Structure 1
């Protein structure tokens, strides 16, 4: 009898664990031998030399000065992009030179390589690799920001590249199928340069191109928008109106996307620069994208209230406009008509809503004050504690109850 009870209890536990996994996409991870190597003021190159394939190199905040060859599949993560600085001291020919595939480099400030344009010095370069990711890098005072050479499926996400001597991003020698998303290219002679017609089929969208002498040079076949309603890029020299909406920009009403394409490349150019707001919930980061003519002071997400609050600044008496893209996993409604957008807890704002499989897009205008608060309320919000956690707790309670009942019955049988 006791074997049947124990078997039944274990069966219940297993069933509930798999139910939790099914409903929450919970992933069971087998931990391997990969290690995390900490660099605190020492040599990043030495850490790479001592690392094994797949290791993580975590670099503490501080000032570093070296040229680094990445010849292993490792992840190199800075503690803080603004405070983890690698300086070329005006003499380095490169800061990161990547010759291994599947590398990740994230959270650094990279600056001051050899200033001579004829040196073609760069902050980050790749050579004959695939699946390399560069994320949250601040790059300034170099000749070339990213030099992508004979490399495919490179991901360039969420970087700031400013004041380069030649190009913020150069793709050359048949570098194809790369993805350039959520970056800021500002005050560069040329933001993106395709050096040959074989460097093609890259996706370039949700970037802000501001005050560059040339935004894009080269005539290879590449793609500068992500379709509608996701949109394309912001170009500071684009002056088209925003009076229409829709995939053909021929429907009545503004949507935060300009009515004319940018040079025939970008079909859906944004009216205002694009900012990425990271919302942490239960150990996961959700990205909310905002294109607005107001300044963004901060935002607050409240899962219990199912609300996202934007705190914006601007010039009183002007008209503010905002196009916001919200992940459905974070906040959603069953119908586009169910959203509630209010200004400073009082005025209900009229909005234009659209959606795709993963995101909802809202556009609205408002009377700008020096400081305003805009609350966006949905119907469904990601829980503060994920379902898998609650189901695992329930599983544990039920399992403990079964064991308790079993031993209680056994005790009563043996001693009565």
Structure 2
């Protein structure tokens, strides 16, 4: 009988602990607030930074369409979404172009649905930030499109268009980040550049740059594909696996590889510059899907940018034919995000600026 009473007491303690934990979680969820930013509102927040400063950890900030000239400093766990989920009508440009328009130092930040650019630094900068979700943004006209540095770890860079930057995505001293479902194309330098960064994974991305990955031995310490999974990829093939490797002449690996078994995966691996390999490079099984992706990009703006740098633009191969209006690539992958974080990613450009020394006349470290 004594033993039975002891077990009953232990069970009651466990039930009480679970009940208390549930109350705490419910209280936390209930205390999270929604803040709204509208530059034309008579009351409330007219700048994104004002809303960030006023927010508590766990709050969500909804931003009305408009042009926001700010250097955002995001240092707490908040979710920032454009109301429209359209990067073409909710634009963040820097008040000080020498700094990034969006700098994230807080953990578990969501930033989704914005057009960002015109920076001499990075369009979106993550410094030491962990477990952030950067989704459905169009990032262009900056030194670096997206830059992760100083121990940025466990972040998901998902479903973005990164174009017309000197370097598309740069990762410095950071590890275990997931780069998936992005269009990294028509950047003037490398699409991807890594330094002292390991265990990052790149998959289901569309790469189309003169140099897709900067030649560096550190590339061998990162992964260039996920586990082969039966699921539609960004070019509408039947498998999530590696990446689509194109180039400006239409002779990229994915554009010229062989797929004898017609499974949408190239029969042979793609050797990444500097080391490492993509063991499941994507094959254009559905050609119209590639055309749909290209419709979100601007090859003419790239050529104009090359001319302003004093470099004659390449004859760029753009798939011919009408776009069939296929769906956007899904903003999801092996690292699953909640449905509320996902957003459609329509691509609408903003103007190219002519600035800086010629990329091809300078050496990066």
1:222-266, Cα deviation, whole Å (9 max, x unpaired): 11111334220001021543233xxxxxxxx22221122111511
In the alignment, the residues of structure 1 paired with residue 60 and residue 143 of structure 2 have an alpha-carbon distance, to the nearest angstrom, of: 29
Measured in 1, the distance between the counterparts of 2:135 and 2:292 equals: 23
The CA deviation at 1:170 is: 1.0
Change (3 A) 1:107 1:211: same
1:243 partner SS: coil
* Higher Rg of the two aligned structures: 1
Length, aligned pairs only: 249
Deviations 1:310-358 (A, max 9, x none): xxx9759xxx9x9xx99xxxxxxxxxxxxxxxxxxxxxxxxxxxxx9x9
Q: 1:217 to 1:90 in 2, by over 3 A?
A: farther
Change (3 A) 1:128 1:273: farther
Once the two structures are superposed, the pairs formed by residues 171-210 of structure 1 within 5 Å of their partners are 171-173=171-173, 175-188=174-187, 189-196=189-196, 199-210=197-208
Partner SS state of residue 139, structure 1: strand
Distance 1:53 1:161, change over 3 A: same
TM-score (norm 1): 0.54
Normalised by the size of structure 2, how large is the TM-score?
0.62
After TM superposition, list the pairs within 5 Å mapping 1:219-238 onto structure 2: 219-220=217-218, 221-228=221-228, 229-236=239-246, 237-238=252-253
| 1:155 to 2:156 alignment | yes
Name the residue aligned to 1:70: 74
CA contact (8 A) 1:273 1:293 kept: no
Q: Secondary structure at the match of 1:97?
A: strand
Cα distance in 2 between the residues matched to 1:73 and 1:315: 45
Which sections of structure 2, spanning at least 5 residues, go unmatched?
Answer: 1-24, 40-45, 229-238, 247-251, 295-318, 337-365
CA distance in 1, matches of 2:172, 2:293: 36
When the two chains are superposed, the root-mean-square deviation of aligned CA atoms in Å is 3.3
For 1:75-154, list aligned pairs within 5 A: 75-79=79-83, 80-88=86-94, 91-114=97-120, 121-149=121-149, 150-154=151-155
Matched-pair contact (CA < 8 Å) for 2:97–2:119: yes
Q: Distance in 1 between matches of 2:139 and 2:127?
A: 19
| Matched residue, 1:241 | 257
Task: Provide the C-alpha distance between the structure 2 equivalents of 1:46 and 1:58, rounded to a whole number of angstroms.
Answer: 12
Distance 1:273 1:204 in 2: 21
Question: Do the aligned residues in 2 keep the contact of 1:53 with 1:74 (CA within 8 Å)?
Answer: yes
Aligned residue among 277, 283, 289 for 1:271:
283
Q: Where does the alignment leave 5 or more consecutive residues of structure 1 unmatched?
A: 1-27, 115-120, 245-252, 275-289, 298-312, 327-355, 359-416
Residues 240 and 260 of structure 1, relative CA distance in 2, 3 Å threshold: farther
Decide whether the 8 Å contact of 1:67 with 1:92 is kept in 2.
no
Which 4+ residue blocks in structure 1 deviate beyond 6 angstroms?
none
Distance in 1 between residues matched to 2:262 and 2:277, nearest whole Å: 21
Shift of 1:296: 8.2
Deviations 1:82-118 (A, max 9, x none): 210012367241011111111110000001113xxxx
Q: 1:211 to 1:59 in 2, by over 3 A?
A: same
Structure that is richer in strand per residue: 1
Q: Which residue in the other structure is 1:49 paired with?
A: 53
User: Structure 2 residue aligned with 1:36, among 31, 34, 37?
Assistant: 34
Q: Distance in 1 between matches of 2:131 and 2:285?
A: 28
Contact preservation (8 Å) 2:107, 2:130: yes
